[in-house]
Structure 1
Amino acid sequence: MTPFHALHHDGLLILPNAWDGGSAALMRAKGAKAIATTSAGVAWALGWPDGDALPVDRAVQVCVDVVRAAQGLPVSIDFEGGYSDDPAAVAAQAKRLVEAGAQGINIEDGGGTPELLASKIAAIRAAVGPDLFVNARCDVWLRGVGEPGTRVAEATRRGAIYQAAGADGLFTPGLTDAADIAAMVAATLLPLNLLAYPGLPDAKTLEALGVRRLSAGSGICGATWGRAAALTEGFLADGRSEPLGEGALGWGEVNALMPDAG
C-alpha cells in the first residue's frame, strides 16, 4: 500500500483541488496532506471549457507543474473521462501522468456506461500496475440517473463493477443525504469520496459516517473566479486601487510560496 493509498484508510482525507502549480503551492503551504486537481479549474485556467476538451499534452504539463509545486506531497489528477473512449488510449495517457509524477487519478463514467469505464480502469491497471490510486467517479447523482430512491443501489452496482476492474476508491459527487451516505459506506468495500456540495454534512459528521475522502472540486477555484470577476468589474468601473488590496496576499508572501528553480 502506498502512502497515498494509506491516507484513504485512516480517518477522513480532506483534499483541496488545485488548478495550476501556484494554487498547489498555496495549498501545500496551508497544510494539505495531498493535492488533487480540478478538471474544471485546470481547463478554465488554460482557457478551455471543462468536459474532456483539454488537450492531453496540456493536462500532462499541468501534472508536471503541480507535482513540482507539491514538493513531495501525493498528487491526484482529475483525468475526466480519460480524454478518449478507447481504453488503450486512455491507459497510454494515464501512463504519461504516472511518469509525470501522479500518484492518483480520478476517472468518471459521466454519460457513458459503467462497462466502458470499467474497461478503461482495467486497461489503466494493466498499463501502470498497482501503485496508482484509481478513484472511479460515479455520476448518478450529478446527472440525475433514475429516481432518487434508486441511486444508492445503482451507485453500489457501479462501484462493484469498478472495484472488479481495479478501482481503489469510489467518488459519488452530488450525494449529500446522511442516510444515503451511510448506506453507500455499508454497501461498498471501496473508500467513499464525496464532493463539497450544498447540503453536505460537515467533515466531522462525514468521518463518523465512514466517508474516507472529501474533495473541494471546483469550489475553491470557482470562488476565486467570483472574486476576480467582482474586482475586475469594479476596477473597470472606477479604477480605484483600494479594493484590490482587500484580503489580498502581498507580492512577497505569494512569491515565497513558490518552489525554487532547479
Structure 2
Amino acid sequence: MPTPAEKRRTFRKLHESGCFVIPNPWDIGSARYLQHLGFKALATTSLGYAFSEGYADGAVPRDLMLAHIAEIAGACDVPVNADFEGGYADDPQGVAESVTLCVKTGVAGLSIEDSTGDKANPLYPFDLALERIKAARAAIDKTGEDVLLTARTEGFIRGRPDMDETLRRLRAFADAGADCLYAPGIKTREEIETVVNAVAPKPVNVLIGWPSDLTVKDITRFGARRISVGGSLARSAWGGFIRAARQLAEGGCFGGFADAAPAADLNALFREDQPKQPSA
C-alpha cells in the first residue's frame, strides 16, 4: 500500500490538470468497492457516516469522526479527502487544533466549510470565516505534511444563494492559502464557469448530489477539476434498504430484494481485496 506521503503527492497531482470524480464512501466496504471500480481518489461523507451510526448529519462527535476518517484512509490504496465539516469548532484556534488531528489520520486532503449549523445565521461572518481558513492553512503547514486544503462556502445549500458573496468568500479563501475551492449547490453551466473563472488557476470542486443532465464531460468542459457526490451514494443505498424494508413491514412482501447485490459477487470482491496479513 502506498504511504500517506505518496498518496498526498498523487492527490495534489490530480488537481493539476483535467477533471476527476471523487466519490464518497461511508464505510470500508463501500470504499473498497469504489476503489475496485478504478476511481483515483475518494472522499469521506459526513452525512453518509452519520446515518450509518444513527446520528443526524453534523451531530457526530469529533473523536468518532476522526476514527472513521483514519479507518477509511488506512483501508485505501488511493488518496482520501476528509469531509471535515466546519472543523469541529467556531473559533480559529479550535479549527487549527481539529485540523492538526485530522492530518494525523493519514488523509491526503481535508475540507473546511463556513456553515454555522444555525438556520437563522447559516454562515460565519466573512472575517471569521476567513480567519478559520487561515488557521486551517497554518495548522497544516505546521505539521509539515502536504495535505491539500479545500475551502467551502455553503451559501447555495444553506438558503443564501448569493453569487457575489460566494465569489467574495472563495477569492478570499484562495488568497488565504486554500488549495481547492468549493461552493456546493451551484448547478448550472453559468454558475460553475463563474466560480471556476473567479478563482483560476486554483482548482474547483463541483458537487453533483442530485439527478442531473450534466455529465462528467460537461463539467470538465466547464473547467472544474474535481467532482464529488456527497452523501448521494449513501442515500441511494438507504433508498434501496427503505423500500425493501417497507415492503416487508407493510405488505409482507419480499420483492424489494430483487435488486440486491449477489452475495457471491461481494464475497469474491472482498476476498480478493482482503488486506494481506504479514507472514509470521
TM-score scaled by structure 2?
0.84
Partner of residue 129, structure 2: 117
Q: Tell me, what secondary structure is at the counterpart of 1:214? A: strand
Give, in whole Å, the separation in 1 of the partners of 2:84 and 2:135.
Answer: 14
Matched, 1:259 2:275: yes
CA shift digits 1:97-134 (9 cap, x unpaired): 21111111111111212322322222222222161111
Matched, 1:168 2:172: no
Partner of residue 155, structure 2: 140
When structure 1 is superposed on structure 2, of 112-121 and 79-88 the one drifting more is 112-121
Which runs of 4 or more aligned residues in structure 1 lie more than 6 Å from their structure 2 counterparts after TM superposition?
Answer: none
CA RMSD across the alignment:
2.1
In structure 2, relative to structure 1, the CA distance for the partners of 1:95 and 1:223 (3 Å cut) is same
In structure 2, relative to structure 1, the CA distance for the partners of 1:178 and 1:228 (3 Å cut) is same
The alpha carbon displacement at 1:244 in A equals 2.8
Q: Is the CA contact (8 Å cut-off) linking 1:115 and 1:161 kept in structure 2?
A: no
Partner of residue 60, structure 2: 54
Partner of residue 209, structure 1: 222
One-letter amino acid of the structure 2 residue matched with residue 61 of structure 1:
A
- Of all paired residues, the percent bearing the same amino acid is 33
The alpha carbon displacement at 1:237 in A equals 4.3
The alpha carbon displacement at 1:143 in A equals 2.1
The answer for unaligned runs of 5 or more in structure 1 is none
Partner of residue 91, structure 2: 86
The alpha carbon displacement at 1:232 in A equals 1.4
TM-score scaled by structure 1?
0.89
Give, in whole Å, the separation in 2 of the partners of 1:117 and 1:125.
Answer: 13
Partner of residue 181, structure 1: 192
Partner of residue 249, structure 1: 262
In structure 2, relative to structure 1, the CA distance for the partners of 1:114 and 1:24 (3 Å cut) is farther
CA shift digits 1:47-99 (9 cap, x unpaired): 11112x211111111112101221x2111010111111022222122111211
The alpha carbon displacement at 1:199 in A equals 4.2
In structure 2, relative to structure 1, the CA distance for the partners of 1:250 and 1:82 (3 Å cut) is same
The alpha carbon displacement at 1:245 in A equals 5.6
Match of 1:8 among 6, 15, 32: 15
The answer for unaligned runs of 5 or more in structure 2 is 1-7, 116-122
